[in-house]
Structure 1
Amino acid sequence: MSEATAGGQADGGADAGAAGDRGGGWGGEGRRVRVVLVDDHRMFRAGVQAEIGRTDETGVEVVGEAGDVDQAMTVIQATRPEVVLLDVHLPGGGGVEVLRRSAPLMTDPEAPVRFLALSVSDAAEDVIGVIRGGARGYVTKTITGTDLVGAIFRVSDGDAVFSPRLAGFVLDAFASTDAPPVDEDMDRLTQREREVLRLIARGYAYKEVAKQLFISVKTVESHVSAVLRKLQLSNRHELTRWATARRLV
């Protein structure tokens, strides 16, 4: 069966702010928001749906889900939800590609589809990339269920939702007229390798990285080996110094 189906958390309060009244949903009496979940980890999608998809309590109705870019477009076009929870790193081109293909839906004057990025990454380039692509907000996967529901309702209303740290990235990026410098070394790395690089450089053990990214320890080891090879580094200590010099930690 295809992962695409129709029908069917330490930022905490800093990510979304007050969630609002619980009676009849976070958005008020009888309010409902239709949501599509886009993430390449099936177990994560199931956990989010279990947390926020209790429609009578939360006011959120999960109407579809997908695990890659093509699946996402099929489900979004079929269901036309108010909000799409979008992971940044997806097979088929990533969240930015979903946003690019969804441009006509986002600008529909009568029923716009709005996007809220939900990612493990808190890297500035990831945040800025999806915001430039048209997402209305960006929260990390450490957000609580209550605050995520609040963020969904706020994005549905047209508000922008960020944690203070991530909002700073966006403000800095849009306040500057200078294009970001090209980093040829970073360009050699895949998106997943960059995620692993940042966590390793912050001192995470391989098991902790695996848990954060929902991958196996063996996969983490493979990514670290690839990063060291591509950057011509010998060990994680050199990797940490390299990442610190580029302010990636």
Structure 2
Amino acid sequence: MKLRMIALMASCLLLLACGPEKEVDVTAGWSAEKLYRSAKNEMANKNYSTAIEQYQILESRYPFGKYATQAQLDVGYAYYKFDEADAALAALDRFIKLNPRHEAVDYAYYLKGLANFGRGKSLLDSIYYRDKADYDKSILLTSYHDFQILLRRFPQSKYAVDSRQHLIYLRDKLASADLKIARFYASRDAWVAASNRAKFIILSYPGTGAVQPALEIQLAAYRQLGLNQLAADTQRIIDLNYSDGS
């Protein structure tokens, strides 16, 4: 019996001895500055996963100080470049909450806008291949609001000009997306819904290329619904503003 126990213990020790070696932490003993510089270098080399890991190690080991604060922001950018929009947004929201008066808060809002903008463009690309009357525009609107916050709170920010350009683009795309919905309703003879959506476009996105086709949908809807006076009024608006075919 004792011999069996000894043999069993020997086998266990042998298995332990042959087991995998523990992974060596190459960052052990590194200072906050060294961790930060290493993470920045990984970012420069597009090794985003490694950079994210090192930013997280930095903050966990050295939670106080300028490097930890900067890591909270930079990890959001790293996630953004790594195409992890949800993680990027979570990191940026955390940075803003923890550092509401930091000099780079405008940049955090700018990155939030970009992260949602990227997701919104992907959504729009898919919309034009779907035959649905409605869809979730919250990503596009969230991006729009992120850029609006930046411009409202930091009108002199160096990111203001680009944010305005993104707002113009988003406004046009939101109008185009709503126009597709209005056309969907019209194609199914849902004229009340088509009229309501067209009215929303006209009121919400003046000056965009979606207004004229929205007026035409509204005109068709009024005619189909027997609202002759409203149809005549709409025709006059079209003639007055688009008589040159613009």
> Please, what TM-score do these two structures have when normalized by structure 1?
0.27
Higher relative contact order (CA 8 A, sep 6+): 1
> Please, what TM-score do these two structures have when normalized by structure 2?
0.27
Structure with greater proportional strand content: 1
